[in-house]
């Protein structure tokens, strides 16, 4: 069985938004007990991560990405090249096992959407659950 639903998230530039609760609700609606859940950020400057939603850690992550892909550097692409590069480095999807109707996340793991674009965006996230 397969079940899909789209989450719409209003998110600021270079910000994170925790969607763990929304994804858990979709798992419940899917009525799938065992399988896999894929979370996919639609668009070229977004990403999906699974990690701790802790403000200081997220700031460390932002600073690390700025060192790797500086927003001040001159690129061949238009003004938001760093946004695209960050999305490519981090990735726009994650797959998480589902067991007994629950996401198999660890205690400190949250599902977050990141908007790497230079402007605030409304991000679409496609959640697909496959299983029995």
- Count of beta carbons in the 10 Å neighbourhood of residue 48: 22
Q: What is the pLDDT of residue 123?
A: 98
Give the pLDDT band of residue 100 (cuts 50, 70, 90): very high
Position 128 pLDDT exceeds 90: yes
Average pLDDT, the chain: 97
Q: What percent of the chain has pLDDT over 70?
A: 100
**How confident is residue 95, by pLDDT bands cut at 50, 70 and 90?**
very high
Please check whether residue 127 is in contact with residue 37, taking contact to mean a CB–CB distance below 8 angstroms: yes
Taking the domains of the chain in order of start, what are their residue ranges? 2-131
Angle between helices 55-68 and 81-90 (to 10 degrees): 120
Contact 39, 127 (CB under 8 A): yes
CATH 3.30.210.10 fits 2-131, yes or no: no
CB neighbours of 35 closer than 8 A, spacing ≥ 6? 97, 98, 129, 130, 131, 132
Q: Tens of pLDDT along 47-82?
A: 999 999 999 999 999 999 999 999 998 899 988 999
- If you average pLDDT over residues 3-22, what whole number do you get? 98
Q: Torsions phi, psi of 95, nearest 5? A: -120, 130
């Amino acid at each position: 069985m397969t079940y899909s639903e789209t989450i719409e998230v209003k998110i600021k530039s270079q910000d994170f938004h925790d969607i763990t609760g929304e994804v858990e609700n979709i798992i419940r609606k899917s009525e799938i007990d065992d399988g896999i859940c894929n979370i996919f950020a639609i668009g070229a400057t977004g990403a999906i991560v699974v990690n701790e939603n802790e403000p200081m850690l997220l700031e460390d992550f932002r600073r690390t990405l700025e060192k790797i892909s500086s927003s001040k550097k001159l690129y061949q692409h238009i003004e938001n090249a760093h946004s695209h590069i960050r999305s490519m480095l981090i990735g726009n999807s994650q797959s998480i096992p589902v067991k007994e109707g629950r996401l198999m996340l660890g205690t400190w793991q949250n599902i977050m959407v990141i908007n790497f674009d230079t402007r605030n965006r409304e991000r679409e996230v496609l959640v697909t659950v496959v299983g029995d």
